[in-house]
Structure 1
Amino acid sequence: MYYCKHKHRIGLILISFMVGIHIAVRNKGKHHSFGIGARLLDNQINNYLTDQIRKQENWINSSIPTVINSNNIKYIVYDCSKTRPGACGGWADRMSGILSTCIISVLTKQPFLVNFDKPCTLQDYLVPATFEWRYNASIFQRSNTAYHNLIDYRSKKIKSFLTGSQDINIFFSMGVNFIRMNWDFTESFRKRPNIGSEIPWLTKLTYADIYKQMFDMLFKPSPLLDQALKEQYRTRRSRPKIACAHVRVGGNPTIPKDLKRKNKPLEILWQYFDTLNKTEYDLLISSDSEQVKDAGKKRYRGNMIDTVGKIIHIDRRSKTDPNEGFLKMMLDFYTLITCDKLIITNSGFGILTAYVRQTDDGLYCWRGRDLRPCSRYTVHNTFPSEILAPGS
């Protein structure tokens, strides 16, 4: 019975993505993403989607073998836990790792779970949205296990399994397969000879829509985060719209081993903020630099708002309480994906917010002295480097 529930949940994963595919196809060439809601579609398209969902559900059910003895179930577990040393990466790195691990679970037909308590327990802030992904330690106690540290270039050893040159089930053959990775391997998965039938949506959806659908399928705010978001809106917002910027600087003294990045001339940001109607817009700067945030607060005293807490990088030691820093990061993330205007810089966190934000309206990319409108569908090309995925 336990496995049957997981079987249905894996079905939900692909069904959700498949609905997203046909919505994206219907709007090909437009810079919009309309979500999963069938209410947005006319009756003809709605009937078509219903038929496609039924076909996909039949395919899913027939492709996953029935397991009578629940002790024989194998699991794929994304791991970012304190029980094992080493890095997990920042928020964007972890979302890329979760995406790739989730795809591995579908390819191997093994239920997908998340074991995440570094530096904080993820489910304190995000809880399951459509299916149960929370890892239970009792699974570890009763099964043979393997831990795969595939962070950064350690992942090279599984490339042939991801692309289909070798059977992926051979590599992930244990009862519980813990996977720590921080890159998006969509392009490797797309090289599989039968990927069109294995996971059809992976060949059709854009990067932006894959991340948007994945995030919404897996996560929703916990009661703690939901209350913090409501409190922030109630106490800090005073205008109908909000313009935001995510400015990654590097070299934060409160974040050990944080490398300094190329300076960004702040006058470029100020020039843009100066053009906005201050009776209409609140302003927010999300940054790893208190100096940048303080400069914004000094220049726009009546409009600049901030999220509560101190800045941390979630994968590096800090003097700040990790729970306080993690909550601030989540408040920043959820605020940025709802901003009416959003400026991003060269960072995985910024790119991820553009993906999940779901619209191109008011999206700007900032490189050096160049600030221009950009698209969530091509933002990873605007900042060409090894962000979210390894270079070619």
Structure 2
Amino acid sequence: MFAEKQVYIGLVCGAVILIIVYIQSRLYNAKHDKTFHISSFSSISLRNEQRLFQLKQKYLLTNLELFSINSTISSNNTKRLIYRCKRICGGLGDRLRGIISGFVLAILSNRHFEIDMTYPCAIETYLKPNLYNWILNNDKQRKPLQVFLYAIDHNKELMTSLRRTNFIEQWLKYDDIILSTNIDMVTPVLTNKLIKHTSLVQMIYEKKIIPTMNNLFPLLYEILFKPTNIVEHKIDNILRLVAIPFVIDPLCEHTITRPISFEINTIRFCINRPESGRGNSVKSIYRYRGKKAFTVADVVICVRCLCLRLNHLAKSSLLCLHIRTYSNPSNPRDPMVPDRLHTAEDMCKYIGTNSTTTILEKNKLQIFVASDSAKAVSTILQYFPNQSLSVPGPIVHIDRPSGKANVCDGFSKVIIDFYLLGECHTSLLTSSGFSAMANRRRLKPYENLFMYQSNKRKIIRCDDSLKETKWESINSTQYIYCTEQGKVISFKHW
């Protein structure tokens, strides 16, 4: 009898070891395979590496040398183009539009691009250079000849110059071009026939790349930016929560706040020390179900929970909501837009009440919500208490902060929201430059994309089959193009 028990234990342990080896090989392959689909937890740095790899393939670029001209820190003799934001210059979406515009103008004019953004907080606190060093050279001995170009919301004279003149030659006499803008200058400037000789324009047309801000933004953003270590850590903490499934077995309830690696380590510990509650490794192992020692049955349960979790992760999906309400108690300095008052409630009804038109199967759905309204966030979290989450921190408009909220903490939250909105399987958005740009960072930005039409209280699905060439040619100046083909719900009839 004792011998049979030993054989049984040996077989179970052997099977568990094989499972661990298999799981670890799958996790290793997922980490190193450049084509894997991001559905479970991986760090934001790994996700961004995957994103940049796919963008390089999309744009048929064998290297990024063209975008790395003068990418080292500038010297006193280097001609520069500096994006500046030291006072009101728009929200994050506006600023990114201005930054990308400045970057393209710098490449076209063969200047080193730098960013001088200190309002309301220094950008270097949250974002750092990725492939291009845009850090401002503050050498006090430098006495450059400068020209200031201010184009917040509009500057007809400047835009005409960028469209119709050889502005590159006009700028040659200046050492520094200081640009403050929130306008899309990329789309008009790349149609200027007088600069078609530049390397960037030639490459764009040779590769048949659509020459618009919307199309180029994902690539140029990844070239310029990656989150700082502090921001990356906060993003990863949220991604871990997103990757953890709901409680799918009472015996596995203890796993809901722990990473998968914990289960693997627990199983290892069970095998190596099946009857001991002591040892160096026990300090890092959760005492499963309150026991001081592990049994074969505990090992089997650990394996079962791990397999259930991995299976669930492969099937679960992340739905992202962005709710821009304009003036509200969290954001009182914005203009009033009455049409946006019912946005959160309408989205909840759309997701949760009509089985024929729900975006995703509810038992596989996790919801991330970002908004300029604490009330809107609270509405979503209360309606989906076990499936929804948001980034903690004060809600602020970085261009018009108000109240006693810590503005820099609010700025950090905005950056984290922006990154997370780029990791969604499905997006349901209100009209906003912020979420439109964040959505462009999704690996498949047109897949499962929904828009809320506030004037009609209607949610429509953007046409997945719409070709990007058609989208860009029709809609290069708008945020997101949606057709009303397919299923539409009007909440006025509810």
Fold shared, TM-score > 0.5 on shorter chain: yes
- Whether contact under 8 Å (1:161, 1:168) holds in the other structure is no
**Residue 382 to residue 329, structure 1, CA distance change in 2 (3 Å):** farther
- 1:364 maps to 450
- 2:461 maps to 373
How far, CA to CA, are the matches of 2:473 and 2:184 in structure 1? 15
Aligned AA (1:77): I
Q: For residue 297 of structure 1, report the CA deviation from its aligned partner.
A: 1.5
* 70-79 or 288-297, which deviates more: 70-79
1:159 aligns with 2:159: yes
1:281 aligns with 2:365: yes
Equivalent position SS for 1:37: helix
- How many residues of Structure 1 are paired with residues of Structure 2 in the alignment? 336
How far, CA to CA, are the matches of 1:331 and 1:71 in structure 2? 35
Give the structure-1-normalised TM-score.
Answer: 0.75
* 373-382 or 219-228, which deviates more: 373-382
- Whether contact under 8 Å (1:140, 1:176) holds in the other structure is no
Cα shift readout 1:166-197 (whole Å, capped 9, x = no counterpart) = 53442574322211000112232133114443
How far, CA to CA, are the matches of 1:318 and 1:216 in structure 2? 31
* 364-373 or 330-339, which deviates more: 364-373
How far, CA to CA, are the matches of 1:202 and 1:213 in structure 2? 13
How far, CA to CA, are the matches of 1:225 and 1:335 in structure 2? 12
1:343 aligns with 2:419: no
- 2:53 maps to 37
How far, CA to CA, are the matches of 1:384 and 1:108 in structure 2? 23
**Residue 238 to residue 383, structure 1, CA distance change in 2 (3 Å):** farther
Q: For residue 348 of structure 1, report the CA deviation from its aligned partner.
A: 0.5
Q: For residue 70 of structure 1, report the CA deviation from its aligned partner.
A: 5.4
**Residue 306 to residue 122, structure 1, CA distance change in 2 (3 Å):** same
The within-5 A match list for 1:160-179 is 160-171=160-171, 173-179=173-179
Aligned AA (2:186): T
- 2:113 maps to 112
Aligned AA (1:374): C
- 2:236 maps to 230
The within-5 A match list for 1:119-134 is 119-134=120-135
Equivalent position SS for 2:139: helix
Q: For residue 127 of structure 1, report the CA deviation from its aligned partner.
A: 0.8
Cα shift readout 1:113-152 (whole Å, capped 9, x = no counterpart) = 1111211111211111102111021168432333322211
RMSD over equivalenced CA pairs, Å: 3.4
1:272 aligns with 2:360: no
How far, CA to CA, are the matches of 1:310 and 1:367 in structure 2? 27
Equivalent position SS for 2:415: helix
Name the % identity. 23
2:397 to 310, 313, 331: 313
1:333 to 418, 437, 452: 418
How far, CA to CA, are the matches of 1:40 and 1:79 in structure 2? 29
1:217 aligns with 2:255: no
Aligned AA (2:449): L
* 113-122 or 230-239, which deviates more: 230-239
Aligned AA (1:220): K
**Residue 172 to residue 364, structure 1, CA distance change in 2 (3 Å):** farther
1:296 to 359, 380, 387: 380
**Structure 1: tracts of 5 or more residues without a match:** 1-33
**Residue 385 to residue 165, structure 1, CA distance change in 2 (3 Å):** closer
How far, CA to CA, are the matches of 2:161 and 2:428 in structure 1? 38
**Structure 2: tracts of 5 or more residues without a match:** 1-49, 246-312, 353-357, 481-494
Aligned AA (1:209): N
The within-5 A match list for 1:60-71 is 71=76
* 278-287 or 217-226, which deviates more: 278-287
How far, CA to CA, are the matches of 1:298 and 1:174 in structure 2? 57
- 2:13 maps to none
Q: For residue 75 of structure 1, report the CA deviation from its aligned partner.
A: 0.8
2:78 to 73, 76, 79: 73
- 2:41 maps to none
Give the structure-2-normalised TM-score.
Answer: 0.61
Equivalent position SS for 1:338: coil
- Whether contact under 8 Å (1:186, 1:202) holds in the other structure is no
How far, CA to CA, are the matches of 1:40 and 1:187 in structure 2? 20
**Residue 136 to residue 267, structure 1, CA distance change in 2 (3 Å):** same
Greater radius of gyration (CA): 2
Cα shift readout 1:188-222 (whole Å, capped 9, x = no counterpart) = 21331144432235552354330100111111111
How far, CA to CA, are the matches of 2:98 and 2:434 in structure 1? 14
How far, CA to CA, are the matches of 2:396 and 2:126 in structure 1? 16
Aligned AA (1:280): K
**Residue 184 to residue 72, structure 1, CA distance change in 2 (3 Å):** same
How far, CA to CA, are the matches of 1:336 and 1:39 in structure 2? 18
How far, CA to CA, are the matches of 1:91 and 1:39 in structure 2? 22
